Each structure stands twice: as structure tokens, then as C-alpha cells.
Amino acid sequence: MIFDTKLEFSDDQAITATAVSTNVIDLGAMGTVFGAAAALARDIGKGRPIPLLIQVTAAFNTLTSLQVTVEVDDNAAFSSAKIIAASRDILLADLVVGMRSELEFIPRGTDERYVRLRYTVTGTNPTTGAIAAGIVAGVHSND
């Protein structure tokens, strides 16, 4: 997969506790059509699927499971973050190099300006484990 740095959430980000992605994607402010009272609405999850790759780049240890969620907010501080989608709890045995999350596309409801990922650790905090994640042109599959 080819990652564009402007569309990257995590670049081999070490996950040693519950954390948010290193990077936040700013989708930009929506404009207002001439004569309209409010700005246009958006939901980039509708229509043609936008590929999302969330992949383990270093094996995890000690935790019980990891969950990945997609969050949006209208402000960069994420003071009123909204969870759009969540992966299943990914068990430690599955968190090996190359494992990909089942969240394969930007989900419906991605309707605010800022987007990030949250990595929620269950059990003991790991001392190893890393994730690469971002919006990509396509995801290779050997299926």
C-alpha cells in the first residue's frame, strides 16, 4: 500500500497504552452556497467506498485485546468527539505483523471536519506493538 503523509493517521505508531492516532486528518471547512443559510452538509463515508488500511507493523505483547475506533469532531481538540465505527476486540493472538483490521473503508457518518483513530487497550499495557493506518488508494488482498 502507498500512504500519502497527509492522509496518514499512524506511521508505525507504538501503542503502549490507550491512545489516539498521531495524526488527525482535516477535511476542511464546508462552504456555503450563495443564498443558503447554512453550510453544505458532508458525509465522506457515503457513495464510493474510500479504502482505509489499519495494519499491525510490530507484534503486540501482554495486552488482552485492542479495539480501533474512528472518531470525528468539528474541532481539532476533539472536545466533543463522536465515535463513527469500532472494530471488534482484536485478541492478542491475532495482533501479529501484517494483521489488518476489518475496518476497510471510511464509515458512513464521517460528517465532521476532523477525523482520527483511537486505539483502546484492554488488559495490561503492551511494551511492544505498532500500527500503520491511513486512507489509501487501494488495499492489496491475496484472498
Q: Between β-strands 90-91 and 63-73, what pairing exists: parallel, antiparallel or unpaired?
A: antiparallel
CATH 2.60.120.1110 correct for 3-136: yes
Task: Give the C-alpha separation, 101 to 89, whole Å.
Answer: 10
Look at residue 41 in the predicted model and tell me its pLDDT. Answer: 86
Residue with cell 484472498: 143
- Calculate what percentage of the chain has a pLDDT beyond 90: 78
Report how far residue 61's alpha carbon sits from residue 16's, in angstroms, rounded to the nearest whole number.
Answer: 10
Q: Is the dihedral of CA 66, 143, 49, 98 positive or negative?
A: positive
pLDDT tens-digit readout, 51-85: 999 999 999 999 999 999 999 999 999 999 999 99
Q: What does the pLDDT read at residue 143?
A: 58
Domain ranges of the chain: 3-136
Is pLDDT of 33 > 80? yes
Q: What is the DSSP string of 17-48?
A: SSEE-S--EE--PPP--TT-SSPPP--TTSSS
pLDDT value of residue 142? 67
- Residue among 93, 103, 105, 102 nearest 129 (CA): 93
**pLDDT tens digits, one per residue of 85-106:** 999 999 999 999 999 999 999 9
